[in-house]
Structure 1
Amino acid sequence: MLGIRTARTSRTRLLAAVATAALAALTLTACNDDAGDAGGKGTSANSPAPTAPPAASVPAPAPATGAPAQTGAPAQTGSPASAKPSAKAPAAPKPPSPADGKAVTCEGSVTKTVAAPLTRPVNHLLLTVTNTGSAPCYLYGYPAVRFGEAQSVPPVIEDSKPQAVVTLKPGESGYASVNLSATDGSGGHGRTETSLAVYFHGPSGNESVGAGSNPSLPAKGLYIDDSLKVSYWQQSMDDAVTS
Protein backbone atom coordinates (compact mmCIF):
# COMPACT_ATOMS: atom_id res chain seq x y z
CA MET A 1 0.00 0.00 0.00
CA LEU A 2 2.79 2.29 0.81
CA GLY A 3 4.39 1.66 -2.58
CA ILE A 4 1.19 2.47 -4.49
CA ARG A 5 0.67 5.67 -2.54
CA THR A 6 4.22 6.77 -3.17
CA ALA A 7 3.88 6.16 -6.91
CA ARG A 8 0.71 8.26 -7.04
CA THR A 9 2.37 11.06 -5.18
CA SER A 10 5.30 11.11 -7.64
CA ARG A 11 2.99 11.09 -10.60
CA THR A 12 0.99 13.98 -9.22
CA ARG A 13 4.11 15.99 -8.66
CA LEU A 14 5.33 15.28 -12.19
CA LEU A 15 2.03 16.45 -13.70
CA ALA A 16 2.15 19.57 -11.55
CA ALA A 17 5.68 20.29 -12.73
CA VAL A 18 4.69 19.78 -16.37
CA ALA A 19 1.70 22.06 -15.95
CA THR A 20 3.86 24.67 -14.30
CA ALA A 21 6.41 24.51 -17.15
CA ALA A 22 3.67 24.81 -19.74
CA LEU A 23 2.17 27.77 -17.97
CA ALA A 24 5.54 29.45 -17.80
CA ALA A 25 6.06 28.89 -21.53
CA LEU A 26 2.71 30.41 -22.36
CA THR A 27 3.41 33.39 -20.16
CA LEU A 28 6.79 33.98 -21.86
CA THR A 29 5.24 33.73 -25.35
CA ALA A 30 2.57 36.27 -24.42
CA CYS A 31 5.19 38.67 -23.14
CA ASN A 32 7.20 38.38 -26.36
CA ASP A 33 4.08 39.04 -28.49
CA ASP A 34 3.24 42.18 -26.50
CA ALA A 35 6.78 43.47 -26.91
CA GLY A 36 6.68 42.78 -30.65
CA ASP A 37 3.39 44.62 -31.04
CA ALA A 38 4.72 47.63 -29.18
CA GLY A 39 7.90 47.81 -31.27
CA GLY A 40 6.10 47.08 -34.58
CA LYS A 41 4.00 50.24 -34.38
CA GLY A 42 7.07 52.33 -35.44
CA THR A 43 8.39 49.91 -38.08
CA SER A 44 5.27 49.01 -40.02
CA ALA A 45 5.65 48.70 -43.80
CA ASN A 46 2.91 51.35 -44.21
CA SER A 47 4.69 53.84 -41.99
CA PRO A 48 6.96 56.43 -43.74
CA ALA A 49 10.67 55.95 -43.47
CA PRO A 50 12.28 58.21 -40.93
CA THR A 51 13.71 61.41 -42.43
CA ALA A 52 17.45 61.65 -42.25
CA PRO A 53 18.69 64.65 -40.32
CA PRO A 54 19.93 67.51 -42.57
CA ALA A 55 23.62 67.41 -43.36
CA ALA A 56 25.66 70.02 -41.66
CA SER A 57 26.51 72.98 -43.95
CA VAL A 58 30.09 72.92 -45.04
CA PRO A 59 31.54 76.47 -45.34
CA ALA A 60 32.94 77.36 -48.78
CA PRO A 61 36.72 77.70 -48.89
CA ALA A 62 37.93 81.24 -48.36
CA PRO A 63 39.14 82.99 -51.58
CA ALA A 64 42.83 83.25 -52.20
CA THR A 65 44.52 86.40 -50.94
CA GLY A 66 44.19 89.26 -53.44
CA ALA A 67 41.41 87.57 -55.48
CA PRO A 68 37.98 89.25 -55.26
CA ALA A 69 35.31 87.14 -53.59
CA GLN A 70 32.46 86.38 -55.96
CA THR A 71 29.03 87.04 -54.55
CA GLY A 72 26.09 86.61 -56.87
CA ALA A 73 26.59 87.59 -60.52
CA PRO A 74 30.17 88.13 -61.68
CA ALA A 75 31.27 91.76 -61.55
CA GLN A 76 31.62 93.60 -64.88
CA THR A 77 35.10 94.54 -65.93
CA GLY A 78 35.63 97.98 -67.37
CA SER A 79 32.87 100.48 -68.09
CA PRO A 80 31.03 101.90 -71.17
CA ALA A 81 33.60 104.69 -71.22
CA SER A 82 36.46 102.22 -71.59
CA ALA A 83 34.68 100.02 -74.13
CA LYS A 84 35.89 100.10 -77.71
CA PRO A 85 33.95 102.82 -79.53
CA SER A 86 31.76 101.84 -82.40
CA ALA A 87 32.45 103.07 -85.91
CA LYS A 88 31.59 106.70 -86.37
CA ALA A 89 28.75 107.66 -88.60
CA PRO A 90 29.72 109.60 -91.68
CA ALA A 91 29.93 113.29 -90.95
CA ALA A 92 27.35 115.54 -92.58
CA PRO A 93 28.77 117.47 -95.57
CA LYS A 94 29.89 121.02 -94.76
CA PRO A 95 28.61 123.97 -96.78
CA PRO A 96 31.05 125.20 -99.40
CA SER A 97 33.44 127.89 -98.25
CA PRO A 98 36.56 129.52 -99.65
CA ALA A 99 38.66 127.30 -97.37
CA ASP A 100 37.25 124.26 -99.18
CA GLY A 101 38.67 125.52 -102.49
CA LYS A 102 35.29 126.34 -104.05
CA ALA A 103 35.53 129.36 -106.35
CA VAL A 104 33.83 132.58 -105.25
CA THR A 105 33.11 135.92 -106.90
CA CYS A 106 36.03 138.31 -107.00
CA GLU A 107 35.29 141.42 -104.97
CA GLY A 108 37.08 143.88 -102.72
CA SER A 109 37.36 141.64 -99.64
CA VAL A 110 39.32 138.90 -101.47
CA THR A 111 41.29 141.02 -103.95
CA LYS A 112 43.63 143.97 -104.20
CA THR A 113 43.23 146.52 -106.99
CA VAL A 114 45.98 148.74 -108.39
CA ALA A 115 45.43 151.58 -110.90
CA ALA A 116 48.39 152.59 -113.10
CA PRO A 117 48.36 155.21 -115.91
CA LEU A 118 49.74 153.95 -119.26
CA THR A 119 51.95 155.80 -121.73
CA ARG A 120 50.91 153.45 -124.51
CA PRO A 121 48.23 153.68 -125.47
CA VAL A 122 47.97 157.25 -124.27
CA ASN A 123 45.15 158.42 -122.06
CA HIS A 124 44.64 154.91 -120.70
CA LEU A 125 44.60 153.50 -117.19
CA LEU A 126 45.41 149.85 -116.38
CA LEU A 127 43.50 148.15 -113.55
CA THR A 128 45.17 145.10 -112.02
CA VAL A 129 43.13 142.90 -109.67
CA THR A 130 45.04 140.27 -107.66
CA ASN A 131 43.33 137.41 -105.80
CA THR A 132 44.44 137.68 -102.16
CA GLY A 133 42.06 134.98 -100.88
CA SER A 134 42.57 131.25 -100.29
CA ALA A 135 40.24 130.05 -103.06
CA PRO A 136 39.84 130.80 -106.78
CA CYS A 137 37.56 133.69 -107.70
CA TYR A 138 35.66 134.72 -110.83
CA LEU A 139 35.98 138.17 -112.41
CA TYR A 140 32.59 138.61 -114.02
CA GLY A 141 31.92 141.17 -116.73
CA TYR A 142 33.80 144.44 -116.47
CA PRO A 143 34.76 146.90 -113.73
CA ALA A 144 32.17 149.42 -112.65
CA VAL A 145 34.34 152.50 -112.10
CA ARG A 146 33.41 155.86 -110.61
CA PHE A 147 35.71 158.86 -110.65
CA GLY A 148 35.11 161.48 -107.99
CA GLU A 149 31.42 162.17 -107.41
CA ALA A 150 30.16 160.64 -110.66
CA GLN A 151 26.58 159.36 -110.49
CA SER A 152 26.95 156.75 -113.21
CA VAL A 153 29.54 154.30 -114.52
CA PRO A 154 31.08 154.48 -118.00
CA PRO A 155 30.01 152.02 -120.72
CA VAL A 156 31.99 148.91 -121.68
CA ILE A 157 33.79 148.29 -124.97
CA GLU A 158 31.73 145.38 -126.33
CA ASP A 159 34.44 144.16 -128.69
CA SER A 160 36.67 143.37 -125.70
CA LYS A 161 34.44 140.63 -124.30
CA PRO A 162 36.50 137.43 -123.62
CA GLN A 163 35.50 133.92 -124.59
CA ALA A 164 35.24 132.77 -120.98
CA VAL A 165 34.88 134.20 -117.51
CA VAL A 166 38.22 135.23 -116.06
CA THR A 167 39.24 132.90 -113.21
CA LEU A 168 41.91 133.87 -110.74
CA LYS A 169 43.66 131.32 -108.57
CA PRO A 170 45.06 132.59 -105.26
CA GLY A 171 47.88 135.02 -106.11
CA GLU A 172 46.89 135.41 -109.78
CA SER A 173 45.85 138.71 -111.40
CA GLY A 174 43.26 139.84 -113.92
CA TYR A 175 43.27 143.08 -115.95
CA ALA A 176 41.08 145.72 -117.52
CA SER A 177 41.85 149.05 -119.18
CA VAL A 178 40.08 152.40 -118.88
CA ASN A 179 39.99 154.79 -121.83
CA LEU A 180 40.16 158.11 -119.98
CA SER A 181 39.68 160.65 -122.74
CA ALA A 182 39.65 161.13 -126.51
CA THR A 183 43.10 161.50 -127.99
CA ASP A 184 41.92 164.15 -130.46
CA GLY A 185 40.31 166.33 -127.81
CA SER A 186 36.81 165.66 -129.13
CA GLY A 187 35.42 164.59 -125.78
CA GLY A 188 33.28 167.02 -123.82
CA HIS A 189 33.05 167.98 -120.17
CA GLY A 190 36.75 167.33 -119.53
CA ARG A 191 37.86 167.47 -115.89
CA THR A 192 40.53 166.21 -113.50
CA GLU A 193 39.65 163.62 -110.83
CA THR A 194 41.78 162.50 -107.87
CA SER A 195 39.72 159.57 -106.52
CA LEU A 196 38.49 156.31 -107.98
CA ALA A 197 36.16 153.53 -106.80
CA VAL A 198 36.04 150.12 -108.50
CA TYR A 199 33.07 147.77 -108.02
CA PHE A 200 32.63 144.15 -109.14
CA HIS A 201 29.79 142.45 -110.97
CA GLY A 202 28.15 139.16 -110.04
CA PRO A 203 27.27 136.28 -112.40
CA SER A 204 24.28 138.09 -113.91
CA GLY A 205 26.46 141.08 -114.83
CA ASN A 206 23.72 143.54 -113.80
CA GLU A 207 24.58 144.17 -110.17
CA SER A 208 27.58 144.92 -108.02
CA VAL A 209 28.50 142.41 -105.32
CA GLY A 210 30.63 142.41 -102.21
CA ALA A 211 32.93 145.23 -101.27
CA GLY A 212 34.40 147.76 -103.68
CA SER A 213 38.00 148.87 -103.95
CA ASN A 214 39.57 152.33 -103.88
CA PRO A 215 42.94 152.23 -105.67
CA SER A 216 45.03 155.36 -105.34
CA LEU A 217 45.56 157.76 -108.25
CA PRO A 218 48.52 160.05 -109.01
CA ALA A 219 48.59 163.11 -106.74
CA LYS A 220 47.96 165.42 -109.68
CA GLY A 221 44.87 163.38 -110.62
CA LEU A 222 43.71 162.09 -114.01
CA TYR A 223 42.06 163.98 -116.83
CA ILE A 224 38.82 162.41 -118.08
CA ASP A 225 36.01 163.45 -120.44
CA ASP A 226 32.73 162.10 -121.78
CA SER A 227 34.48 159.52 -123.99
CA LEU A 228 35.35 157.55 -120.85
CA LYS A 229 34.80 153.77 -121.27
CA VAL A 230 36.23 150.47 -119.93
CA SER A 231 37.17 147.02 -121.25
CA TYR A 232 35.97 143.66 -119.99
CA TRP A 233 38.15 141.87 -117.48
CA GLN A 234 40.93 139.94 -119.25
CA GLN A 235 43.10 137.02 -118.24
CA SER A 236 46.26 138.70 -119.63
CA MET A 237 47.61 142.24 -119.53
CA ASP A 238 48.20 142.33 -123.28
CA ASP A 239 44.54 141.61 -124.01
CA ALA A 240 43.48 144.38 -121.66
CA VAL A 241 45.87 146.98 -123.15
CA THR A 242 44.88 146.30 -126.77
CA SER A 243 41.17 146.39 -126.09
Structure 2
Amino acid sequence: MRTARTSWRTCALGAAALAALLSSTACNPGIADTKNPTTPTPAATPTTTPSTAGTAQPSATTGAGPSAGGTVACNDNDLSITTSVWRQDSGQHLLITATNFTDKPCTLYHYPYIGFGAVIDGPLDPMGSAPQAIATIGPKEKAYAGLFLFRGSERTVAVEAVSIGYQDRALHSNKESAMLDVALSKEIGSLSVAADARVTYWNRDLGAVEDLLFRSGTR
Protein backbone atom coordinates (compact mmCIF):
# COMPACT_ATOMS: atom_id res chain seq x y z
CA MET A 1 0.00 0.00 0.00
CA ARG A 2 2.96 2.30 0.70
CA THR A 3 4.22 1.86 -2.90
CA ALA A 4 0.78 2.64 -4.29
CA ARG A 5 0.53 5.85 -2.27
CA THR A 6 3.93 7.07 -3.56
CA SER A 7 2.90 6.42 -7.16
CA TRP A 8 -0.33 8.31 -6.71
CA ARG A 9 1.44 11.37 -5.31
CA THR A 10 4.02 11.41 -8.10
CA CYS A 11 1.28 11.23 -10.71
CA ALA A 12 -0.73 13.99 -9.06
CA LEU A 13 2.25 16.34 -9.00
CA GLY A 14 2.94 15.62 -12.68
CA ALA A 15 -0.61 16.44 -13.57
CA ALA A 16 -0.45 19.77 -11.74
CA ALA A 17 2.77 20.80 -13.47
CA LEU A 18 1.81 19.65 -16.99
CA ALA A 19 -1.92 20.09 -16.99
CA ALA A 20 -1.86 21.72 -20.40
CA LEU A 21 -0.02 18.81 -22.04
CA LEU A 22 -1.37 15.66 -20.41
CA SER A 23 -4.71 14.06 -21.16
CA SER A 24 -7.27 13.38 -18.49
CA THR A 25 -6.31 9.71 -18.43
CA ALA A 26 -2.60 10.24 -17.81
CA CYS A 27 -2.99 10.46 -14.05
CA ASN A 28 -5.60 7.85 -13.31
CA PRO A 29 -5.07 6.71 -9.66
CA GLY A 30 -6.59 3.37 -10.54
CA ILE A 31 -3.64 2.56 -12.78
CA ALA A 32 -1.09 3.37 -10.10
CA ASP A 33 -2.84 1.11 -7.57
CA THR A 34 -4.20 -1.83 -9.47
CA LYS A 35 -3.96 -4.26 -6.57
CA ASN A 36 -5.55 -1.88 -4.07
CA PRO A 37 -7.96 0.37 -6.04
CA THR A 38 -9.18 2.22 -2.94
CA THR A 39 -8.54 5.87 -2.20
CA PRO A 40 -4.89 6.30 -1.06
CA THR A 41 -4.36 6.55 2.65
CA PRO A 42 -3.57 10.12 3.88
CA ALA A 43 0.05 10.76 4.79
CA ALA A 44 -0.64 11.42 8.49
CA THR A 45 -0.92 7.80 9.71
CA PRO A 46 2.13 7.30 12.03
CA THR A 47 0.02 5.84 14.83
CA THR A 48 -0.78 2.75 12.77
CA THR A 49 2.84 2.05 11.84
CA PRO A 50 4.89 0.08 14.42
CA SER A 51 7.95 2.00 15.56
CA THR A 52 11.32 0.30 15.34
CA ALA A 53 12.69 2.45 18.15
CA GLY A 54 11.10 0.23 20.78
CA THR A 55 13.09 -2.79 19.63
CA ALA A 56 16.49 -1.25 20.26
CA GLN A 57 18.76 -3.03 22.70
CA PRO A 58 19.03 -1.51 26.20
CA SER A 59 21.85 0.95 26.70
CA ALA A 60 22.87 3.71 29.03
CA THR A 61 20.45 6.04 27.26
CA THR A 62 17.37 3.85 27.51
CA GLY A 63 15.44 2.95 30.60
CA ALA A 64 12.19 2.50 32.38
CA GLY A 65 12.10 5.98 33.89
CA PRO A 66 10.35 9.05 32.54
CA SER A 67 13.65 10.77 31.68
CA ALA A 68 16.02 7.88 31.19
CA GLY A 69 18.20 9.40 28.50
CA GLY A 70 21.33 11.13 29.70
CA THR A 71 20.53 11.05 33.43
CA VAL A 72 23.35 11.03 35.95
CA ALA A 73 24.10 8.10 38.20
CA CYS A 74 22.40 8.11 41.59
CA ASN A 75 24.57 8.49 44.66
CA ASP A 76 24.21 8.80 48.43
CA ASN A 77 23.02 12.40 48.12
CA ASP A 78 20.06 11.44 45.93
CA LEU A 79 18.63 8.44 47.75
CA SER A 80 16.84 7.29 50.84
CA ILE A 81 17.61 3.61 51.49
CA THR A 82 15.38 1.27 53.50
CA THR A 83 15.58 -2.46 54.19
CA SER A 84 12.75 -4.92 54.69
CA VAL A 85 11.97 -8.63 54.75
CA TRP A 86 9.02 -10.71 53.60
CA ARG A 87 6.48 -12.17 55.99
CA GLN A 88 6.64 -15.93 56.39
CA ASP A 89 10.11 -15.92 54.84
CA SER A 90 12.84 -18.00 56.42
CA GLY A 91 15.18 -15.01 56.70
CA GLN A 92 17.07 -15.95 53.55
CA HIS A 93 16.19 -12.74 51.68
CA LEU A 94 16.45 -8.98 52.17
CA LEU A 95 14.86 -6.23 50.09
CA ILE A 96 16.64 -2.92 49.53
CA THR A 97 14.45 -0.02 48.43
CA ALA A 98 16.01 3.15 47.02
CA THR A 99 13.82 6.27 46.82
CA ASN A 100 14.86 9.38 44.92
CA PHE A 101 14.19 12.34 47.23
CA THR A 102 15.59 15.02 44.89
CA ASP A 103 13.77 17.02 42.21
CA LYS A 104 15.72 15.48 39.32
CA PRO A 105 15.86 11.95 37.86
CA CYS A 106 18.91 9.76 38.33
CA THR A 107 19.84 6.24 37.30
CA LEU A 108 20.79 3.25 39.43
CA TYR A 109 23.16 1.43 37.09
CA HIS A 110 23.79 -2.31 37.13
CA TYR A 111 23.61 -3.67 40.71
CA PRO A 112 24.46 -2.18 44.12
CA TYR A 113 27.76 -2.88 45.80
CA ILE A 114 26.84 -4.70 48.99
CA GLY A 115 29.08 -5.57 51.91
CA PHE A 116 28.82 -6.39 55.57
CA GLY A 117 31.80 -4.54 56.97
CA ALA A 118 34.57 -6.75 58.29
CA VAL A 119 32.21 -9.68 58.83
CA ILE A 120 31.96 -10.77 55.17
CA ASP A 121 34.10 -9.46 52.35
CA GLY A 122 32.25 -7.45 49.70
CA PRO A 123 31.02 -6.39 47.33
CA LEU A 124 28.69 -9.30 46.66
CA ASP A 125 28.51 -10.84 43.21
CA PRO A 126 25.30 -10.29 41.21
CA MET A 127 22.67 -12.95 40.62
CA GLY A 128 20.55 -13.38 37.52
CA SER A 129 20.89 -11.27 34.39
CA ALA A 130 20.54 -7.53 33.84
CA PRO A 131 16.95 -6.30 33.31
CA GLN A 132 15.76 -5.09 29.91
CA ALA A 133 15.84 -1.44 31.02
CA ILE A 134 18.07 0.46 33.40
CA ALA A 135 16.53 1.74 36.62
CA THR A 136 16.04 5.47 36.07
CA ILE A 137 13.93 6.98 38.83
CA GLY A 138 12.35 10.41 38.96
CA PRO A 139 11.51 12.39 42.09
CA LYS A 140 9.87 10.19 44.76
CA GLU A 141 10.15 7.11 42.55
CA LYS A 142 11.65 3.83 43.76
CA ALA A 143 13.93 1.06 42.56
CA TYR A 144 14.66 -2.27 44.22
CA ALA A 145 17.44 -4.77 44.70
CA GLY A 146 17.20 -8.05 46.58
CA LEU A 147 19.71 -10.09 48.55
CA PHE A 148 19.79 -13.87 48.65
CA LEU A 149 21.57 -14.39 51.98
CA PHE A 150 22.01 -18.12 52.47
CA ARG A 151 20.86 -21.61 51.66
CA GLY A 152 19.43 -23.83 54.35
CA SER A 153 22.56 -25.96 54.64
CA GLU A 154 25.13 -23.15 54.60
CA ARG A 155 27.07 -21.85 57.57
CA THR A 156 26.09 -18.26 58.42
CA VAL A 157 27.18 -15.35 60.58
CA ALA A 158 24.99 -12.64 62.14
CA VAL A 159 25.23 -9.06 60.84
CA GLU A 160 23.42 -5.93 61.99
CA ALA A 161 24.20 -3.49 59.16
CA VAL A 162 24.56 -3.47 55.40
CA SER A 163 27.07 -1.40 53.44
CA ILE A 164 26.00 -0.08 50.02
CA GLY A 165 27.71 1.63 47.09
CA TYR A 166 26.66 2.65 43.57
CA GLN A 167 28.01 2.20 40.06
CA ASP A 168 28.25 4.67 37.19
CA ARG A 169 27.40 3.84 33.56
CA ALA A 170 30.47 1.64 33.20
CA LEU A 171 30.08 -1.81 34.72
CA HIS A 172 32.22 -2.30 37.85
CA SER A 173 32.93 1.44 38.13
CA ASN A 174 33.43 3.05 41.57
CA LYS A 175 34.40 -0.31 43.00
CA GLU A 176 37.13 1.26 45.13
CA SER A 177 34.85 3.97 46.53
CA ALA A 178 33.81 3.79 50.16
CA MET A 179 30.41 2.25 50.83
CA LEU A 180 27.84 3.75 53.20
CA ASP A 181 26.60 1.71 56.15
CA VAL A 182 22.82 1.37 56.34
CA ALA A 183 21.30 0.25 59.63
CA LEU A 184 18.78 -2.55 59.39
CA SER A 185 15.18 -1.81 60.25
CA LYS A 186 14.25 -2.40 63.88
CA GLU A 187 11.83 -5.11 62.80
CA ILE A 188 14.75 -7.04 61.29
CA GLY A 189 17.30 -6.76 64.07
CA SER A 190 20.04 -8.88 62.52
CA LEU A 191 20.59 -11.04 59.45
CA SER A 192 22.12 -14.45 58.95
CA VAL A 193 24.50 -14.25 55.99
CA ALA A 194 26.58 -16.90 54.25
CA ALA A 195 29.88 -16.30 52.50
CA ASP A 196 28.24 -16.92 49.12
CA ALA A 197 25.44 -14.34 49.42
CA ARG A 198 24.32 -12.61 46.19
CA VAL A 199 22.51 -9.42 45.12
CA THR A 200 20.14 -8.77 42.20
CA TYR A 201 20.42 -5.96 39.67
CA TRP A 202 18.51 -2.77 40.34
CA ASN A 203 14.98 -2.92 38.96
CA ARG A 204 11.96 -0.63 39.10
CA ASP A 205 9.75 -3.74 38.96
CA LEU A 206 9.47 -5.20 42.46
CA GLY A 207 7.75 -8.29 41.09
CA ALA A 208 10.74 -9.08 38.87
CA VAL A 209 13.08 -8.90 41.88
CA GLU A 210 10.83 -11.16 43.94
CA ASP A 211 10.51 -13.65 41.10
CA LEU A 212 14.28 -13.97 40.90
CA LEU A 213 14.84 -14.18 44.64
CA PHE A 214 12.21 -16.81 45.31
CA ARG A 215 12.72 -18.92 42.22
CA SER A 216 13.78 -22.35 43.41
CA GLY A 217 17.50 -23.02 43.08
CA THR A 218 18.40 -19.60 41.69
CA ARG A 219 21.57 -18.00 42.96
Contact 1:108 1:212 in 2 (8 A): no
1:158 CA displacement: 2.8
SS in 1 for 2:150: coil
Q: Which has the higher helix share?
A: 1
Q: Residue type of the partner of 1:112?
A: S
Unaligned runs of 5+ in 1: 1-100
Compute the displacement of 1:200 (Å). 0.5
When Rg is computed on C-alpha atoms for both structures, the one with the higher figure is 1
1:153 equivalent in alignment to 2:123? yes
Among residues 73, 79, 103, which one is paired with 1:111 in the alignment?
79
After superposition, residues 136-215 of structure 1 pair within 5 angstroms as 136-149=105-118, 150-159=120-129, 161-182=130-151, 184-185=152-153, 187-188=154-155, 190-208=156-174, 212-215=179-182
8 Å contact 2:105–2:138 — kept in the other structure?
yes
Find the counterpart in structure 2 of residue 225 from structure 1.
Answer: 194
Match of 1:20 in 2: none
Cα separation, 2, equivalents of 1:136 and 1:218: 26
Q: Distance in 2 between matches of 1:203 and 1:102?
A: 10
Residue deviations 1:101-136 (CA, integer Å, cap 9, x gap): 972211111111111122365410000000111211
Q: Is the 8 A contact 1:194 1:218 kept in 2?
A: no
2:9 paired residue number: none
Q: Which residue of 2 aligns with 1:133?
A: 102
Q: CA RMSD in A?
A: 2.2
User: Structure 2 matches for 1:11-26, cutoff 5 A?
Assistant: none
Note the alpha carbon deviations across 1:121-166, whole angstroms, 9 max, x for none: 541000000011121101100011111313321111133x201111
Q: Aligned pair in 2 of structure 1 residues 212, 170: CA closer, same or farther (>3 Å)?
A: farther
**Compared with structure 1, are the counterparts of its residues 121 and 143 closer, same or farther at alpha carbon in structure 2 (3 Å cutoff)?**
farther
SS in 2 for 1:139: strand
Contact 2:93 2:148 in 1 (8 A): yes
Taking structure 1 as reference, are residues 132 and 147 closer, same or farther at Cα in structure 2, changes over 3 Å only? Answer: same
Return the letter of the residue paired with 2:157.
R
Describe the shift of the 1:221–1:168 C-alpha distance in structure 2 as closer, same or farther (beyond 3 A): same
> What is the TM-score when the length of structure 1 is the normalising length?
0.52
How many residues end up aligned between the 2 structures? 139
- Per-residue deviation, residues 139-196 of structure 1 (Å, max 9, x unmatched): 100011111313321111133x2011111001100001000111x22x23x1000111
Give the counterpart letter for 2:110 in structure 1.
G
